[in-house]
Structure 1
Amino acid sequence: MSTIHYEVTDNIAVLTIQSPPANALSSTLLRDLNQKLDTIEGVPEIKAVILTGEGKFFSAGADIKEFTSLQEASDYEALSKKGQVLFARMENYHVPIIAAIHGAALGGGLELAMACHIRIASETAKLGLPELTLGIIPGFAGTQRLPYYVGASKAYEMILTGEAITGVEAEKYGLVNQTTDDDSVYEHAKQLADKIAEKSGPTIHEIMKLIPYARTGNFTEGADHEAEAFGRVFGSEDAKEGIAAFLEKRKASFKDQ
């Protein structure tokens, strides 16, 4: 069974993450998402995509238990680059992807949302990159995308403290386009997608190719360095302690090594 449910309505593809209880990003989920993007590319009538999560969360992070099964720094670096390639594909997709965020978009979940072109969030949603509380760092280009949206100072604060912000705060800092009440997130995303789907397909495709030029040329270099650091850090003693503390639901005791 796929971890991503796919349906099409009114020239809009809806992708729903189905990986209870937290919609954690596993290698299987990333593979399924990539396959669904392949499918959408084969349907020229589709003019927009909505990405949402089933249950309580958009996505509460990466599948930490799966990550701990890896052994070498090179394995973690490869995992990081795999996620980065998928998210870069999303960011350069031929039609807009709208993230409908409820509950939480944390860690890899926020990195996934940031790879989308437009973000609609509930006012009470929690958005953040809490990796440092586990003794690790973001690995799916979160260190590169977050400053692009919220500015360097706020990105330093969010990543170094690991503290999440609300949907309302995320709108204030430019991380999400708009917020709504908890029960209306998908509805607002669909209304926005409907407006886009009314436009000519070729004009949408041209805009999707043009706006990415606004990115600086240093993004790819920064993402490469992030993947290398992700591999190094994941093998540290503090990473082992941080992940163990997370799984055991206790506070980590780091030794700075």
Structure 2
Amino acid sequence: MGEVKRNLRRTSKPRTQNRGFTLIELLIVTFIISLLLFTGGYAYSLFTNKWQEEIGQFDQVKRFSVGLERLRMATENISPLVIFKDNKQPAFFFIGDKESLLAITHNGLFNFNFPEAFRLTVLTKPSGKKQLLYQALSLEGFAILTESQSIDFERQQVLIDDVDDISFSYYGWSSFFDKKGRTADNLIGELAWSTRFSGLDRVLMPEKIELTITNENQKLNLITELDSSVEEHLRTYFDQEAN
């Protein structure tokens, strides 16, 4: 009998019951999941914003580099085109000042097989930032002969955009006649930098062109060297006058 009672006591112990989440536990789990989702979403937002910002900066640097390369191509291939002034005297097709440049490039940016008459112009945007505009007219089937000839540019492209400042300067002789007449005993004229250079007035081309780009207190100076003996292109004209 005693053995039976002991067995009954062992089998009568209360069993552990399976129960679900309480409301408090459910709220805690829900809060943790929400916190994880919020943290993940916020991190993803930061990542995508940073990625878009870096992509934007990359695109901006790429456009700037491509614009500089196209600008280099145009200026390094500047050609000394001889035209006639209104007084019938020969001169060179080149006019440059601090914020513009008018010249001929041997290999056009829009038509690589033919020269282009081009004009570079510094423009100020409503934001106060500067941009450099390239305008061109292909010389395929078109010739520039005189000073007063009209030039209607057909195509254009912004090469440099959203910078603080852009300016040109030119290095060359004061005039063709000063350069030809300069000797050790007759030191007339000089090579110097200036913010204006006219091939019509000086009857010469500059020997160097400097482009200065300023942005966020940083300066980039690009110097292009041109042919320093372009006066040889005028020999035929002045020899004819001498005869």
Q: TM-score, normalized by length of structure 2?
A: 0.23
Which protein has the larger Cα radius of gyration, Structure 1 or Structure 2? Answer: 2
Higher relative contact order (CA 8 A, sep 6+): 1
Q: Which has the higher strand share?
A: 2
Q: Which has the higher helix share?
A: 1
